[in-house]
Structure 1
Amino acid sequence: MSISIDRRQFLMGSTALLAAAAAGVGPAMSQETRMRLIFWGGQARADRTYGVTDLYTKASPGTTFDGEFLAFADYWPKLATQTAGGNSPDVIQMDYRYIVEYAKRNAIAPLDEFIGNGLNLDDFDKDQLDGGKVDGKLYGISLGANSTAIMVNTTAFEEAGIELPTRDLSYADLPAMAEKWNSSNKRAGMKLWSDYSGGEPGLENWLRQQGKALYTADGLAGFTAEDITAWFQLWADLRAADVIVSPDDQALDATDAIENTMITLGKAPVTYANSNQLIAFQAVNKDKLTMTNYPRIKAGSGGGHYRKPSMFFSLGASSKQQAEGAKFIDYFISNPDAATILGVERGIPCKSSTRDAIKPSLDEQSLVALNFVSNLGDLLGALPPSPPSNAGEVGVALKTKSQEVAFGQQSPQDAGPAFFAQATEILARAKK
């Protein structure tokens, strides 16, 4: 969705405007700064974002914005087209998965020259700052720290008289929990768990708990064919134990939109997500939600989670207004009034001063998100390297292969090596 974010009221009609131009006012008006801003997300995020742009235009007379927001799946094709055609927006919301790709093809601009010159990063979390760097240069300012999480429908669990998933829950515990759920659940057709066999973040978390990785620092696969076979087998076993939703139901969640997740569609009381999404999930769910961590691979295992930059703001490489764009980013991450509007919808603020400013104003669920990310404990591991440029293609291949297993078109033993070969080829191609 596109919108022109210009709240100023022009008080002059066309006749007065012509008179003003004749009097010499015209050149001053030509100095207006108009910036294009693009981001993904739903209406709730858009409302918060545009609330901040309103504040900024009041603080910076003469500056206006043209804003555009899209669903995640629609966002990247459009942004790729714009940047490839030299028609880059001035301020771009960027993802950790794609920042390397966009930086290496010079689609976004380095920000280093603006540090201390419009962009104040003095009390910015180092891990979040490092997350926006590519080859030693800063290409993105993290808009919030978050972690992977599962969204939990507390109302559905309470109706069934079953204890909520806890931070100690393991994948091995799910069949017994599902047996209780299937006999006590009050909602017809609702299974205990979403099928996340095609979810790259779930696979990464599972690998990290074993001391492995999804990608190595040099952009290669950090897993083996045997690992992927075991991953597909894990979900095949959960499917056979009647723990997870049917392949047909899971296929409804094809666009990464919150509205299509199993929890929102009423297919399961648990779905995989990110900690900063609790507010957005609650906005489209009538039942009360909470969140906790991904399951452990076994009792006592940890280290699968990490504090990931939820998203960045970057500057378009073809933008003619990069200095003004850097000032806007600084305002977005630093101004207390802006921070209060934004809350933790994009993640936990990365500046300590901003966190202190918003904490008194946070509602119950925002505090849940803040406390979750701040208290991961033994679940927390180091931030992995930025994904390689073709990581998005690997993620699509994983989802496709997982569906083939779910629908019985391939066994885990055949799908594991097949996906590994495909992923290896994709990553090798990125090196050429």
Structure 2
Amino acid sequence: MRMNRRSFMIGTAGAAAGLAFGAGGSLPAFADSTRLRATWWGSADRNKRTVAVAELFHTKNPDISVVGESISGDGYWTKLATAMASQDISDVFQLEPSTISDYSKRGACLPLDQFVPSTLKVDSFGKDMLKLTTVDNKLYGVGLGLNSFALFYDEDAFKKAGLTPPGSTTTWAEYADLAVEMTKASGKRSYWGGPYGARYNYVFDAWLRQRGKSLYTDEGGLGFGVDDAKEWYAYWEDLRQRGGTVSADVQTLDQNVIESNSLALGKSAMGMAYSNQLIGYQLVVKSKLAITLLPREKKDGPSGHYYRPALIWSVGATTKNGEAAAKFIDFFVNDIDAGKILGVERGVPMSPAVRAAILPTLNPTEQQTVKYVDLLKDQVGAYPVPAPLGSTEFDQNVMRPVADQLAFGKITVAEAAQKLVDEGKAKLKRS
């Protein structure tokens, strides 16, 4: 497992500085101030923006200093698990829609209702937006921006190949044919039309919603059966054998971070991710990228998409500085200058005031993500039930490994489908 950790110290004697330390680097204590620890994952661009906002926060709140740590790949969740076990969770830490329910139920998050609206001024977000980070009637986090699932594609590659790129009504059958055509038309070795998406639980989520199913039930179980999983795996295996997906050894490199995605690695012309990540992808891909909806079952059928908080700041349940942590989060989502630094890298801002202020400052790539969220306005369905306890383990320790075993030919489609359901049920029940 790859772990890449970077630490940053923000705020010392009134002068803000971003200092990089190795994995074992020690950080000095600060006298006469509250020191917050913040932890997140993401690209180098996200690190730069986050540190800049933390520096600005310290400038405006000199009595609060911030020590930040960025951890890449699945190492983030390993670090969080260790922190939970030792009752030493960061004051502020990053979650996502698929993990907030799981970790709040595990006792990792501090309920934030006590800070609303005195410190956390989130009324302007709208009640529905707060529901996205509410679990069991308690607010366990604040969304940092809106996004949804998305299909990215290399616009230059499609032009060079003379192929029409995917669009908002492209079906899964059309996508498969297009991916195969792109592999052939590219004329490049070790380059394919798209990813082997069988291991992406968020794509499976949209696939199921297009068919009237769901990833999870209201009761916290699996919302699909063996036949559904068999159809899913059969699609990707057929596409892989036709040459439309990257090889198994390339796909297993994907640690659910931009740098290891097949599109970012220059191994595929299309990639599946979250809309806010277009900015990070464009920074590492030389060709011009474009964004559209995930393929759908039928042209006139449901898209399977829904609005989601792109990422979430939560406060550690063991913090001794809850008020200061809430103040930092409020600054992150409501300060206009902070919003201009952050742009839409973590999603389109929840705050109407911040959204209006930053729109004129966005570059063309950032504007694409805003237009995409607007495009979805009439396409999104209801927000799903919160991911149940054990959902993170289901994703990391069941869905991804099963898909990898299938891609490497170690198990059949039927075996993969049965294994996904059986082991998935066991993970959710055990949790």
SS of the equivalent of 2:104 reads helix
- Written as runs of structure 1 = structure 2, the 5 A alignment for 1:379-394 is 379-394=379-394
The code of the aligned residue for 1:360 comes to P
**Contact 1:174/1:243 (8 A) holds in 2:** no
* Larger deviation, residues 412-421 vs 226-235: 412-421
Q: How does 1:33-182 map to 2 (within 5 A)?
A: 33-182=34-183
Match of 2:293 in 1: 293
Where 1:65 maps in the other structure, the secondary structure is strand
Residue matched to 1:356: 356
2:340 is aligned with 1:340: yes
1:88 aligned counterpart, secondary structure: coil
Partners of 1:176 and 1:110 in 2: CA distance: 48
**Residue 4 (1) aligns with residue 5 (2):** no
Q: What is aligned with 1:264?
A: 264
When normalised by structure 2's length, the TM-score is 0.91
Match of 2:233 in 1: 232
d(CA) in 2 for partners of 1:377, 1:143: 19
Give, in whole Å, the separation in 1 of the partners of 2:111 and 2:14: 35
Cα distance in structure 2, aligned partners of 1:333 and 1:296: 33
User: How many angstroms does 1:257 deviate by?
Assistant: 2.5
- Consecutive unaligned residues in structure 1, runs of 5 or more: 11-28
Distance, in Å, in 2 between the alignment partners of 1:179 and 1:37 is 44
* In 1: Cα distance, 2:104 partner to 2:178 partner: 45
By how many angstroms is 1:186 displaced?
Answer: 4.3
What is the 5 A alignment of 1:17-28?
none
The answer as to whether partners of 1:125 and 1:351 remain within 8 angstroms in 2 is no
- 1:409-420 correspondence runs (5 A): 409-420=410-421
Compare 140-149 and 100-109 and name the one that shifted more. 100-109
CA distance in structure 2 between the aligned counterparts of 1:313 and 1:175, rounded to whole angstroms: 37
Q: Which residue identity does 1:415 align to in structure 2?
A: A
Mapped partners of 1:7, 1:375: distance in 2: 44
Change in Cα spacing, 1:179 to 1:326, as seen in structure 2 (3 Å) is: closer
Distance 1:178 1:256 in 2: 21
Deviates more, 1:84-93 or 1:327-336: 84-93
Query: Taking structure 1 as reference, are residues 302 and 312 closer, same or farther at Cα in structure 2, changes over 3 Å only?
Result: same
Structure 1 position 276 matched with structure 2 position 268: no
Note the C-alpha offset of 1:189.
3.1
Change in Cα spacing, 1:34 to 1:182, as seen in structure 2 (3 Å) is closer
Structure 1 window deviating more from structure 2 (178-187 vs 141-150): it is 178-187
Q: Is the 8 A contact 1:39 1:70 kept in 2?
A: yes
Q: What's the offset of the Cα at 1:377?
A: 4.4
Query: What displacement does 1:174 show?
Result: 2.9
Structure 2 distance, partners of 1:212, 1:92, is 32
For 1:96 and 1:294, how far apart are their aligned partners in 2? 18
User: 2:182, 2:32 → 1: CA distance?
Assistant: 64
Query: Which shifted more, 403-412 or 142-151?
Result: 403-412
Tell me whether 319-328 or 81-90 shows the greater mean CA deviation: 81-90
In structure 2, the partner of 1:325 is 325
Using structure 1 for the length normalisation, give the TM-score: 0.91
Counterpart Cα distance in 2 of 1:9 and 1:423: 51
Supply the distance in 2 between the matched residues of 1:346 and 1:189 (Cα, whole angstroms).
Answer: 31
Q: How far 1:87 sits from its partner (Å)? A: 1.7
Q: How far did 1:72 drift?
A: 3.5
Q: CA deviation at 1:231?
A: 0.6
Alignment length, in residue pairs? 411
- Report % sequence identity: 35
For residue 19 of structure 2, what is the aligned residue in structure 1? none
Gap change, CA 1:205 and 1:147, over 3 Å in 2: same
3-state SS of the aligned residue for 1:150?
strand
| Residue number in structure 2 paired with 1:241 | 242
In 2, the alpha carbon distance for the partners of 1:179 and 1:251 equals: 20
C-alpha distance in 2 between matches for 1:75 and 1:398: 18
SS in 2 for 1:215: coil
Q: CA deviation at 1:50?
A: 1.1
Task: Supply the AA of the counterpart residue of 2:90.
Answer: P
1:357 alignment partner, SS class: helix
- The alpha carbon displacement at 1:423 in A equals 1.0
Cα distance, 1:180–1:91 mapped onto 2, change above 3 Å: closer
Superposition RMSD on alpha carbons, in Å? 1.7
Asked whether 1:223 is paired with 2:224, we answer yes
Superposition misfits of 4+ residues, deviation over 6 angstroms? none
**2: distance between equivalents of 1:360 and 1:151?**
24
Shift of 1:30: 4.8
1:207-222 equivalences in 2 (<5 Å): 207-222=208-223
The 8 Å contact of residues 102 and 391 in structure 2, kept in 1 or not, is answered as no
Q: Is it true that 1:374 corresponds to 2:367 in the alignment?
A: no
Query: 2:190 & 2:62 partners in 1: Cα distance?
Result: 56
C-alpha distance in 2 between matches for 1:100 and 1:281: 28
Aligned to 2:25: none
Distance (whole Å) between structure 2 residues aligned to residue 122 and residue 304 of structure 1: 28
Provide the rounded CA distance (Å) in 1 between the counterparts of 2:404 and 2:210: 24
Of 307-316 and 220-229, deviating more is 307-316
Shift of 1:299: 2.2
Distance (whole Å) between structure 2 residues aligned to residue 102 and residue 259 of structure 1: 26
